[in-house]
Amino acid sequence: IAPVAIGSIAGFGGTSYVLGVEAIVRHLEQQ
């Protein structure tokens, strides 16, 4: 998960970082 998030930060900036965090939170909640 982390490398993808880092790539999103580098490639798309703050907005994508927020979306990435939300996606990680949802993924963790589903486990």
Return the pLDDT at 27.
85
pTM of the model: 0.46
What's the per-residue H, E or C state across the chain? CHHHHHHHHHHHCHHHHHHHHHHHHHHHHHC
Mean pLDDT, residues 21-27 taken together:
85
Q: With 60 as the cut, is the pLDDT of residue 1 above it?
A: no
* Residues in Cβ contact with 17 at an 8 Å cutoff, skipping those fewer than 6 apart: 5, 8, 9
30 pLDDT band, cuts 50/70/90, is: confident
